[in-house]
Amino acid sequence: MAATRTKTAPAAAKPAAKAAVSKAAAGKAAARASGKTPLLTRDQELSAYREMLLIRRFEEKAGQMYGMGLIGGFCHLYIGQEAVVVGMQMASKQGDQVITGYRDHGHMLATGMSANGVMAELTGRRGGYSRGKGGSMHMFSAEKHFYGGHGIVGAQVSLGTGLAFANRYRGNDNVSLTYFGDGAANQGQVYESFNMAALWKLPVIYIIENNRYAMGTAVTRASAQTDFSKRGLSFNIPGEQVDGMDIRETYAAGLRAMEWCRSGKGPYILEMQTYRYRGHSMSDPAKYRSKDEVQKMRTEHDPIEQVRERLLKDWKVSEDELKAIDASVRDIVAESAEFATNDPEPDPSELWTDILK
């Protein structure tokens, strides 16, 4: 099946939103047929706004705490890319699994993991999801079906394919949402995974978060095929390019991909064309792109501002209501920072736990 193109970029919702998915499906189909941007309900827009804002404020605080020396090691922020994971979580159902690389804080929050637990892990405290031993790249929550951020580039693609194999083996209708970036898309294990997933028709969505610069090299300099939606064609895996800065597009694309996988047709590729505002990590000055380029994306394509403008203009939501949402999100983030600063460090005995012999 040839790769298709939806609206391209220029360059987790809560249960209430998920309950509206089936009701809105017919409208999404009509919108796709007419070529128009799909519409969300007022409640969906509000939920998406809050979820994306939570990720944005959390990452801003994490960057601040890193600068203060409270977070050590590596720290890769998701600022600018929020619409990708939030849209996909809106389209998912309970039981679908999520696995990603090291730019993972946003994915954790979108799956419903506690801000306190995530921030405490960043600061190496015992209340963290890995009891303070994993840091930014190594968190996991079986309860929330989050199977980790992974520091080895592309390693999660094979693991995500394995999650899909388990779903197929057990006969359930869960889908593995396997995230990786444009840089990881050139790794060999990615294509071995594509081949197996296509052979066995595994229910996995490969979500390529194309933020254009990998670790610091533009895709035009590093990739012979820059249309990542076509990367699965030799394995007969369909794909599409999606405006990853527009929550409406990521949600609608997620619904399409979920339907494909749940109907037993096998894997699907979504190239989310997105943009990170910060460098690859907190230690990256990002001198490989201009400040004007970053500012243009912030001004014209910010995923949160797009929703905010629609809420004000189309849904007549008041400024006071949006300010209240922002205040509640800031309270959550402030509490997580307070917890992560004052929670005790792990006991030295933790050095000998969780070790495979």
Q: Please report, as a single letter, which amino acid is at residue 274.
A: T
| Burial of 78 (C-beta count, 10 Å sphere; 0-12/13-18/19+) | buried
Residue 335 lies in a domain: yes
Q: 74, 137 in Cβ contact below 8 A?
A: yes
Q: Please report, as a single letter, which amino acid is at residue 136.
A: S
Which helix (H) or strand (E) covers residue 327, if one does? Answer: helix 319-342
Residue written as token pair 């998912």: 92
Residue 353 lies in a domain: no
Q: Please report, as a single letter, which amino acid is at residue 267.
A: P
DSSP state of 135: G
**243-267 residue pLDDT tens:** 999 999 999 999 999 999 999 999 9
Mean pLDDT of 220-244: 97
Backbone angles phi, psi at 243, to 5 degrees: -70, 100
Q: Please report, as a single letter, which amino acid is at residue 97.
A: Q
What pLDDT is attached to residue 171?
97
Q: How many structural domains are present in the chain? A: 1
In order, the DSSP letters of 150-187 are -SSTTHHHHHHHHHHHHHHHHT----EEEEEETTGGG-
Residue 139 lies in a domain: yes
What pLDDT is attached to residue 267?
98
Look at residue 1 and tell me whether its pLDDT is greater than 50: no
**What's the sign of the alpha-carbon dihedral 310, 311, 317, 323?**
negative
What pLDDT is attached to residue 37?
79
Q: Which domain holds residue 253?
A: 39-340
Mean pLDDT of 73-83: 96
What pLDDT is attached to residue 357?
66
Query: Reading across the β-sheet that carries 4-5, which strands appear in turn?
Result: 4-5, 239-243, 268-273, 204-210, 176-181, 97-100, 146-149
Cα separation, 197 vs 230, in Å, equals 16
Look at residue 2 and tell me whether its pLDDT is greater than 50: no
Percent of the chain with pLDDT over 90: 86
Residue 348 lies in a domain: no
Look at residue 160 and tell me whether its pLDDT is greater than 90: yes
| Region of poorest pLDDT, from 174-178, 284-288, 314-318 | 284-288
Q: 232, 192 in Cβ contact below 8 A?
A: no
**CATH (domain of 240):** 3.40.50.970
Residue 43 lies in a domain: yes
Single pTM value for the model:
0.90
**107-156 residue pLDDT tens:** 999 999 999 999 999 999 999 999 999 999 899 999 999 999 999 999 99
Residue 345 lies in a domain: no
What pLDDT is attached to residue 35?
54
Residue 346 lies in a domain: no
Residue 249 lies in a domain: yes
Cα separation, 333 vs 161, in Å, equals 33
What pLDDT is attached to residue 25?
44
In order, the DSSP letters of 278-313 are S-SSTT---TTS-HHHHHHHHHHH-HHHHHHHHHHH
